Amino acid sequence: MISLRYHIVSIAAVFLALALGVVLGSTAVSDRLLSGLAGDRESLHEQVADLQEERNALNAKLAAADRFTGTVGPTLVRGALDQRTVVLISAADASPADRDAVAELVRSAGGTVSGELQLTEAFADPGRADQLRQLVTRLVPAGVQLPTATDPGTLAGGLIGPLVLLGKESVQPQAKPEEVTAALSALTDGGFLRGGQDLRAAQLAVVLTGGAVGGAAAGDRAATVARFATQLDRSGAGAVLAGRAGSADGTGPVGVVRADTAAASVLSTVDNVDTAAGRTVTVLALRDELNGRSGRYGAAGNAQAPAPMPAS
């Protein structure tokens, strides 16, 4: 006769066997899992190495292409700005190397750099916006009318534009020399500008900026530079806003202009001025501005083309 004790021992044996099977099975599974993971890791290492090699090859090709463009750029732009004048305005984050390279290409194109200005950090600082507005409204030369917009970038463009650019139709200075000197000196004393000595009014303008704007109030600072450049364009025969890689995204002035249909329809933008190709395109875009054409050029996803169409 089977006793209760026999049942208990049998059940315990079954559970013991199950537990032993689970342990043995999990050990085998773990070994296979670890082996598989080791294989996956080795495969990933190989993929990373292949991608790094591919990236290095692409970077080498890009560097070679940029050297080639740098060599032929002066030939490509020759005569594009014959007997034209250009003022260069640099935002606080613009690269001096970009400025110097663009100035050299303007000269290669037959143009003349009539002067340079630099916007300081304070110019786009939201904390100084009210001070900039008040100063601008006190410095307006006789005969110059400020735009109705109240943002500091547009107002500053409405003042500085007529100071540094010739009239689009008249091709004559829009302010008297003493008015230009007084206004630029006041903006310099206020901490908003640097440079401007011996500056002569030009037909065209290039506004140079860096890449994406970071830090606190990045959007406001990018918008100030973007609106300044847009209003500057409206003050003369044309302007180009040229920035480095990253300037075309939402935190860069180029990106702010491209997101605004009205601004993008009048102001040309270039998003790769840190390359020889971008600097060459900046000069070609100036030529198109003279002919009433604007565009979005460069390598970013929101560019319409790498460069303007050849002049007909």
User: pLDDT tens digit string along 50-108?
Assistant: 666 666 655 554 554 566 466 767 888 999 999 999 999 999 999 999 999 999 999 99
Give the tens place of pLDDT for each residue, 248-268: 988 899 999 999 999 999 999
Give the residue extent of every domain in the chain: 1-76, 78-297
The four Cα atoms 142, 146, 148, 151 give a dihedral, to 10 degrees, of: -140
Helix axes 4-76, 96-108, angle to 10 degrees: 40
CB burial class (10 A; 0-12, 13-18, 19+) of residue 308? buried
- pLDDT higher for 117 or 76? 117
pLDDT value, residue 309 = 85
Q: How far is residue 145's CA from residue 140's CA, in Å, rounded to a whole number? A: 8
**Residues above pLDDT 90, as percent of the chain:** 68
Q: What is the mean pLDDT of the chain?
A: 86
- pLDDT higher for 3 or 143? 143
Q: How far is residue 1's CA from residue 76's CA, in Å, rounded to a whole number? A: 108
Is 50 exceeded by the pLDDT of residue 24? no
254: closest CA among 275, 289, 291, 229?
229
Model confidence, pTM: 0.80
pLDDT value, residue 288 = 96
